[in-house]
Amino acid sequence: MQHSVTPVGIVHSCFKEKFAIPRQPRLAPAARGVLELLPPFDQGDAVQGLEQVSHVWLLFLFHQALEEKPRLKVRPPRLGGNKSMGVFATRATHRPNGIGQSVVRLEAVEPGRLLLSGIDLLDGTPVLDIKPYVPYADSIDNAINQMASDAPLPINVQWSDSALHQAHEHALRLAEPLVELIEQCLAQDPRPAYQVPAPERVYGVKFWDVQVRWHYPQPEVIRVLEVAREA
């Protein structure tokens, strides 16, 4: 059976590239975005009652990881990228039908748009469906996942004085918790597990409209060097 789906909305996210997006939602509470609802769901009727809900499940398309040929096995970054697992044992982006799911905080419901935080979604992600989080059914106290039992341990993020000053300035301009966003995302250590970073190697990523640059003075320490508006 084949069935086509049509997005109900598009996410406008702080994350402009895949690199440095947390691997799951809620790891960076300062990661915010707006889900713009598309017609006919941009009318108040479609979200009536949603203001009674603190979190929603988003079902979405990994639109920048779609592939023709399905993979049976994948190498999840969480396992260091060198161990393969059955695709259905993982939350890898490369999967049949390219469908992702994230539970995110619903900050506000406005006509035609939902304000979200704690997202792990790339800018432009098409959303296929939205469902309310149901605490008594969705939260399982004794659930086990031996591959990913706890959130990854955050690493130490330090700032150069100038980068911290720049981040505060851009936070004011954007009216966004940019310092927290940078700290929470970099604390997840975005570099691929197999990369041993030389201290002089500079990494970079774009959050909102600013380019963040950092290096690793020691293997488990990040130092933010610069937060500059993209030209």
Residues that bind ligand SAM (CB under 6 A): 18, 21, 23-25, 62-65, 91, 93, 100-102, 120-122, 125
Q: How far is the CB of 25 from ligand SAM (least distance, A)?
A: 5
The smaller minimum CB distance to ligand SAM, of residues 121 and 187, is found at 121
Taking alpha carbons only, the member of 4, 212, 2 closest to residue 128 is 4
Taking alpha carbons only, the member of 196, 208, 116, 214 closest to residue 160 is 214
Q: How far is the CB of 114 from ligand SAM (least distance, A)?
A: 17
Q: How far is the CB of 99 from ligand SAM (least distance, A)?
A: 7
Contact assessment for residue 193 and residue 126, using Cβ atoms and an 8 Å cutoff? no
The smaller minimum CB distance to ligand SAM, of residues 91 and 191, is found at 91
Contact assessment for residue 162 and residue 185, using Cβ atoms and an 8 Å cutoff? no
The smaller minimum CB distance to ligand SAM, of residues 177 and 190, is found at 190
CA-to-CA separations, 82 to 55, 60, 193, in angstroms, rounded: 34, 27, 9
The smaller minimum CB distance to ligand SAM, of residues 23 and 215, is found at 23
∠ CA 213-13-171 to the nearest 5 degrees? 55
Residue with tokens 């920048």: 64
Contact assessment for residue 42 and residue 127, using Cβ atoms and an 8 Å cutoff? no
Helices (H), 81-198: 135-138, 161-174, 178-186
Q: How far is the CB of 44 from ligand SAM (least distance, A)?
A: 27
Q: How far is the CB of 68 from ligand SAM (least distance, A)?
A: 15
The smaller minimum CB distance to ligand SAM, of residues 21 and 210, is found at 21
Q: How far is the CB of 204 from ligand SAM (least distance, A)?
A: 16
The smaller minimum CB distance to ligand SAM, of residues 25 and 177, is found at 25
Strands 221-229 and 156-159: parallel
Contacts of 25 (CB under 8 A, 6+ apart): 102, 103, 104, 118, 119, 120
